[in-house]
């Protein structure tokens, strides 16, 4: 499984309030509409920079720290971001992201450059960006299936005869 896209780079300690401001928490409940405000407080106009289904967010340490709001990974996914690559993730953000089928990869991101292309091979555990190869732990089939299905609920519906509703 290969993911290919343009890099949008952020720093360390990106919190969930910077991903999506809490001021929209109750006024906008549609995640696609809410995604238009992605990173609004730290990178105004970011949503308009994205190339749907061709964008990769790259960050430093502790991406997704702060509240346990599920809206944070949802808006990233709904904005058409293919995956987030970071040195490390806040634990609750990590779990919430995989629950909804947003791909996350932990790797050394120090050599990545804004606007470069990244080619991520999940089977080989390798990221190629401008000729530099960054290694990470290759994904197992469960993680790939979970993301391909669109998250844990859809995974359970597909593989475990589980139905919601």
DSSP 138: P
Mean of the pLDDT values across residues 41-48? 97
pLDDT score of 45: 96
Mean pLDDT, all residues of the chain? 94
Share of the chain above pLDDT 70, in %: 97
Band (162; pLDDT cuts 50, 70, 90): low
pLDDT score of 104: 98
The tens digit of pLDDT for each residue in 72-117 reads 999 999 999 999 999 999 999 999 999 999 999 999 999 999 999 9
Contacts of 112 (CB under 8 A, 6+ apart): 7, 9, 58, 85, 118, 129, 134
Dihedral angle at the C-alpha atoms of 9, 146, 157, 152, nearest 10 degrees? -60
Apex 43 CA angle, 22 and 150, nearest 5: 65
Q: Please say if the pLDDT value at position 165 is more than 70.
A: no
For CA atoms 54, 135, 19, 93, give the dihedral sign: positive
Domain boundaries in the chain? 2-159
For CA atoms 47, 145, 151, 135, give the dihedral sign: negative
pLDDT score of 26: 80
Give me the residues paired with residue 84 across strands.
Answer: 57, 104
Q: pTM of the prediction?
A: 0.94
CATH of 2-159, one of 2.40.110.10, 3.90.1150.10, 3.20.19.10, 3.40.190.10: 3.20.19.10
């Amino acid at each position: 499984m290969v993911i290919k896209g343009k890099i949008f780079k952020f720093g360390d300690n990106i919190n969930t309030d910077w991903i999506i401001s809490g001021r929209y928490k109750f006024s906008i409940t549609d995640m696609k509409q809410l995604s238009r405000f992605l990173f609004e407080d730290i990178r105004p106009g970011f949503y308009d920079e994205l190339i749907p289904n061709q964008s990769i967010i790259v960050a430093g340490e502790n991406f997704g720290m702060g509240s346990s709001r599920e809206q944070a990974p949802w808006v990233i996914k709904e904005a058409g971001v293919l995956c987030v690559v970071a040195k490390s993730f806040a634990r609750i953000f990590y779990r919430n992201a995989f629950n909804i089928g947003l791909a996350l990869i932990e790797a050394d991101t120090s050599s990545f450059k804004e606007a470069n292309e990244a080619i991520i091979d999940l089977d080989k555990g390798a990221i190629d960006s401008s000729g530099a190869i960054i290694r990470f732990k290759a994904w197992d089939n469960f993680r790939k299936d979970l993301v391909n299905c669109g998250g844990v609920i859809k995974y359970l519906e597909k593989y475990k005869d589980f139905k919601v509703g």
